[in-house]
A and B are shown apart, each in its own frame.
Chain A
Amino acid sequence: MTGLYIATGIALLVSLFFDKSKTKSGLKKGWVKFSKTLPSYLKLLMIISLVLLLSEDLIITYLAQDNIFLGLLSSLILGSLTMMPGFIAYPLANILVGRGVPYMVIAGFVTSLMLVGVVTYPLEKEYLGIKATILRNIMSFVVAALIAIIAGIAYGEVFMI
């Protein structure tokens, strides 16, 4: 984090040194983008605060199913709908490993958690547009499913017929 501030400070000083008016117009552009999308960032944070109410027990119950493919499907859907920081997600994944949940299901959950952003929709549509946002997330869902299946094969949990 301090690195980011140092880098920004240096970039600003260098920019000011070379061209004052260009720097000013750059800051203005940054401000326009920021202020126009701030409501979307707030919307996103509010949605996340509700999504995080989803209890860990519920996630564990759905992912730790006897039927591995139902477990996988649940992991992909729950992973897509939620968004959590690493310090919550990985300890949870660790609990799942302890419960004997297949790595395929865990890979499906962790990957869709990061790749598919249903909750980031309000923000993404501002910058990429509605159509690109929807199609990119569908693509990401398919990618998450494929990665989970590959993990399943690599851990010998599913076999190619």
Chain B
Amino acid sequence: MKKLIKDYFLFGIFVIFALVSYIINFEFGIEIWDNFLVFARDMVLILPPAFILIGLFDVWAKNESIEKHFGKTNNPLRFIWSILLASTTVGGTFVAFPLANSLYYKGAKYSSIFTYVTAASLFMIPMTIMEASMLGIKFTLIRLLASIPFIIGGSILLEKYFDKTKYKIPFIEAD
């Protein structure tokens, strides 16, 4: 109970602040709440099904097949799998972070999960279409094509460092 209060204390104050702002018509507070809703709306819709899928992924995905496509061997195809998975992840990094965590504990290499998470923030299909229509297809193509080698290169560098220092990412379990 103590932990629950600690975890949600700030949010409680935030909600009360928003409520009071609405009552006394405090514009600044109302604007903050409207900004809160910009992303909150999507998250309320996306997170429940996303975590159901992540839970099912945890129990059904075989470690061997994750290792085969994202892990142990130095198969360069793992980058293609990571980018493909990223472009089909609804919700961008909000969903990619927990999935990356699951992938890691099923045997994915660091270079795969960093490529995955980073690409997930960049290759959102609806965003990309919007960008191309507003800024031109040339702009979008340059940006996306140029980013792929850098993201993969950067992820490999990070993996070298993390493998050397034997870094472990957090394991999330019930208390």
By a beta-carbon cutoff of 8 Å, the part of chain A in contact with chain B is 1, 4-5, 7-8, 11-12, 15, 22-23, 25-34, 36-39, 41-43, 45-46, 48-50, 52-53, 84-88, 90-91, 93-94, 97, 103, 106-107, 110-111, 114-115, 117, 120, 123-124, 126-129, 131-132, 135-136, 139-140, 142-143, 146-147, 150-151, 154
Contacts and interface: CB of A to CB of B under 8 A. Distances in A.
B132 to A, nearest CB: 10
A126 B47 CA distance: 16
Given A28-B55, A93-B134, A147 B143 contact: yes
24 contacts: A4-B49, A7-B49, A11-B53, A12-B52, A23-B56, A27-B52, A29-B54, A30-B56, A33-B98, A39-B11, A84-B38, A86-B130, A90-B130, A93-B135, A94-B135, A106-B139, A114-B127, A128-B97, A139-B157, A139-B158, A140-B118, A140-B154, A147-B143, A151-B142
Nearest to B155: A139
Interface size class of B (residues with CB under 8 A): 35 or more
Nearest to A128: B169
A151 B139 contact: yes
A15 B131 contact: no
B39 A85 contact: yes
Given A12-B52, A30-B56, A106-B139, 11 more contacts: A1-B45, A52-B35, A53-B31, A93-B134, A111-B147, A128-B113, A129-B168, A136-B118, A143-B151, A147-B150, A151-B143
Interface in B129-175: 130-131, 134-135, 138-139, 142-143, 146-147, 150-151, 154-155, 157-158, 161-162, 167-170, 172-174
Query: Is chain B's interface secondary structure helix, strand, loop, or mixed overall?
Result: helix
